[in-house]
């Protein structure tokens, strides 16, 4: 006989379908770590709910020095470490699910019902389905027989609130177990990890109608993936903030694919998939995610500024590339990694040259004004570059009615889709613009930029946001500069 025991409760016929699948995984684990396997199979103290029979652990601790209690709506992986080695003898080993849920209401009702107070509470809510205790902790299983008769909307979690009250009113130190030793389905959205990446998977919050099927399928999956048990994380990046922020999200998404999550599933929710088609990501929709039944860990590129922290770190005080990487990865990328990458489609380039009779892009300058007030400078820009032997291409979507039917002007306003805009920006060596999206796209290429306005949003190129860039709030000043 061992001085350690793995204890389960298996009472009642209604639970047999599940326990017949889960109990063998627990019994195998007990054998692996050299502990006795003890089954509480008779009601002794509880009036109605078998889960309260955990109080029998108090008596079992007269026989065993240490006990690991496990619910039977969980499964244990064959490579699960010895939790008796994980948890020091003098501490209670337990998982704090209060990190991911608000248990304030539940504990307030429990305090009222059991007529107990919480001396000091920092929102902990310890899950009672997996815990390690020793003889030092026998007082946690004192039970007066005062068991709530009905559980439902107003009083949930069965014995768990009482178990927490006993802990809070003791002086016992806690060893918080990793969620990998008590993986609840509520963690899917917080971690992005597949539940089967954990050592112990707990189905307490799984819907009753699918629980048996879920457990059966998960056990089969472990059998197939053993002994490596490799499962990919599911990461959803929700790209918000409009076109400019979508373009500037590319370095962060690329860093995730190439470095931080290179072995995982990355899904991107975006209105502008063009900027990510060169990356190995799944461009998805809300509907597709719902159909897949995957609950991914969600990252948002631009957060709600109602959050005080994000009200300080927002787009008016920090470069969009940095804002997005902080929001998603909690870090700032290296200057090298901040540069955008956009691949041009050579077939589209060839067709574009034929359609617009362009032999050499180096003989052109590209102008894109989004602000109506800057259109008055077009004549002067055209004349300036004509003197340099360059032909001006005007792009953009606007209603400015200037007439440039001139052999030295190619007026393509309101005629180009996003792919063609990218193609022109990528091939023409000079871009004269006040448009933030065009400035951002140019970050992927090696052309000169004449930027009208603040340089705050100029892209990182060659490790610098100032590479081959002229900028001024005054268009006249830019026109007069001759160094490009």
pLDDT at 384 over 90: no
pLDDT at 152 over 60: no
Residue 148 — pLDDT band, cuts 50, 70, 90?
A: low
Every domain range in the chain assigned CATH 3.40.50.2000: 346-480
Q: Considering the chain, what is the average pLDDT of its residues?
A: 89
Residue 484 — pLDDT band, cuts 50, 70, 90?
A: very low
Alpha helices in 226-338 (DSSP H): 242-248, 250-255, 286-292, 308-312, 320-329
The pLDDT of residue 387:
87
Give the three-class secondary structure for 201.
strand
Q: How far is CA 16 from CA 20, 31, 81, 471, in A?
A: 6, 22, 27, 74
What is the pLDDT averaged over residues 420-434? 95
pLDDT at 31 over 70: yes
pLDDT at 119 over 60: yes
Q: How many residues does this entry show for the chain?
A: 484
* The 297-300 sheet, strands edge to edge: 282-283, 265-269, 234-238, 297-300
In this structure, is the dihedral angle defined by the CA atoms of residues 364, 370, 372 and 377, taken in order, positive or negative? negative
Lowest mean pLDDT among 163-177, 371-385, 439-453: 371-385
Alpha helices in 315-413 (DSSP H): 320-329, 346-355, 378-387
How far apart are the C-alpha atoms of 158 and 102, rounded to whole Å? 16
Contact 310, 304 (CB under 8 A): yes
Phi, psi (deg, nearest 5) at residue 477: -60, -45
Residue with the bigger pLDDT between 204 and 376: it is: 204
Every domain range in the chain assigned CATH 3.90.550.10: 4-225
- Cα 396 to the chain's mean position, in Å? 35
Highest mean pLDDT pick, 23-37, 132-146, 391-405, 468-482: 23-37
The pLDDT of residue 188:
80
Give the three-class secondary structure for 83.
helix
Beta bridge partners of 268: 237, 283
pLDDT at 142 over 70: yes
How far apart are the C-alpha atoms of 111 and 105, rounded to whole Å? 10
pLDDT at 482 over 80: no
How far apart are the C-alpha atoms of 92 and 299, rounded to whole Å? 34
User: What's the token pair of residue 12?
Assistant: 């009642």
How far apart are the C-alpha atoms of 459 and 465, rounded to whole Å? 5
What is the pLDDT averaged over residues 369-398? 85
pLDDT at 476 over 60: yes
Residue with the bigger pLDDT between 306 and 338: it is: 338
Arch. (CATH architecture) of 4-225: Alpha-Beta Complex (3.90)
Contact 367, 378 (CB under 8 A): yes
pLDDT at 149 over 60: no
pLDDT at 483 over 70: no
What is the pLDDT averaged over residues 251-268? 95
pLDDT at 397 over 90: no
Arch. (CATH architecture) of 346-480: 3-Layer(aba) Sandwich (3.40)
Q: Cis link prior to 9 (omega < 30° from 0)?
A: no
The pLDDT of residue 33:
98
State pLDDT tens for residues 276-312.
999 989 999 989 988 887 778 889 887 666 666 666 6
The pLDDT of residue 153:
46
Q: What is the 3-state secondary structure (H, E, C) of 416-443?
A: CCHHHHHHHHHHCCEEEECCHHHHHHHC
The pLDDT of residue 23:
97
Highest mean pLDDT pick, 42-51, 93-102, 309-318: 93-102
Residue with the bigger pLDDT between 480 and 238: it is: 238
pTM of the model: 0.76
The pLDDT of residue 408:
79
What is the pLDDT averaged over residues 59-69? 97
Residue 187 — pLDDT band, cuts 50, 70, 90?
A: confident
Q: For 249, what's the count of Cα atoms within 13 Å in the CB-facing half-sphere?
A: 28
Beta bridge partners of 299: 237
pLDDT at 200 over 70: yes
What is the pLDDT averaged over residues 345-361? 94
Question: Which residue is associated with the tokens 């918000």?
Answer: 240
pLDDT at 320 over 60: yes
Phi, psi (deg, nearest 5) at residue 440: -65, -45
Give the three-class secondary structure for 476.
helix
């Amino acid at each position: 006989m061992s001085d350690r025991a793995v204890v389960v409760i298996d009472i009642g016929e209604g639970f047999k379908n599940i326990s017949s699948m889960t109990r063998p995984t627990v019994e195998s684990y007990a054998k692996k770590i050299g502990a006795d396997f003890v089954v509480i199979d008779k009601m002794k103290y509880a009036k109605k709910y078998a889960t309260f029979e955990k109080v029998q652990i108090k008596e079992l601790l007269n026989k065993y020095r240490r006990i690991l209690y496990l619910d039977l709506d969980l499964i244990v992986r064959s490579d699960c470490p010895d939790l008796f080695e994980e948890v020091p003898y003098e501490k209670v080993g337990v998982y704090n699910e209060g990190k991911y849920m608000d248990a304030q209401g539940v504990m307030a009702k429990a305090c009222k019902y059991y007529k107990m107070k919480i001396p000091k509470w920092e929102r902990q809510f310890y899950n009672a389905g997996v815990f390690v205790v020793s003889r030092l902790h026998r007082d946690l299983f004192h039970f007066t027989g005062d068991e709530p008769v009905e559980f439902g909307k107003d009083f949930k979690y069965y014995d768990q609130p009482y178990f927490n009250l006993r802990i809070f009113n003791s002086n016992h130190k806690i060893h918080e177990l990793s969620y990998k030793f008590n993986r609840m389905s509520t963690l899917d959205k917080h971690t992005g990890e597949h539940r089967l990446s954990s050592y112990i998977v707990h189905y307490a919050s799984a819907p009753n109608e699918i629980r048996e099927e879920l457990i059966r399928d998960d056990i089969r999956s472990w059998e197939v993936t053993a002994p490596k048990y490799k499962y990919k994380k599911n990461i959803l990046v929700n790209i918000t903030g409009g076109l400019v922020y979508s373009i500037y999200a590319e370095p962060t998404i690329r860093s995730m694919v190439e470095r931080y999550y290179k072995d995982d599933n990355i899904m991107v929710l975006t209105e502008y998939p063009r900027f990510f088609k060169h990356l190995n990501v799944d461009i998805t929709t809300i509907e597709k995610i719902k159909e897949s039944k995957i609950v991914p860990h969600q990252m948002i590129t631009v957060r709600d500024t109602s959050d005080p922290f994000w009200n300080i770190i927002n787009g008016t005080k920090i470069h969009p590339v940095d804002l997005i990487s902080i929001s998603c990865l909690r870090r700032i990328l290296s200057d090298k990694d901040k540069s955008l990458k956009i691949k041009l489609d050579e077939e589209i380039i060839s067709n574009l040259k034929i359609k617009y009779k362009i032999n050499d892009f180096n003989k052109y300058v590209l102008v894109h004004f989004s602000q109506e007030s800057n259109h008055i400078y077009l004549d002067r820009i055209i004349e300036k570059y004509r003197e340099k032997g360059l032909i001006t291409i005007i792009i953009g979507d606007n209603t400015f009615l200037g007439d440039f039917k001139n052999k030295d002007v190619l007026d393509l306003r309101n005629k180009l889709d996003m792919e063609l805009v990218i193609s022109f920006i990528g091939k023409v060596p000079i871009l004269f613009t006040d448009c933030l999206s065009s400035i951002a796209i140019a970050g992927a290429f090696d052309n000169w930029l004449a930027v009208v306005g603040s340089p705050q949003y100029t892209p990182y190129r060659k490790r610098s946001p100032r590479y081959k860039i002229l900028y001024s709030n005054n268009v006249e000043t830019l026109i007069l500069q001759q160094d490009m």
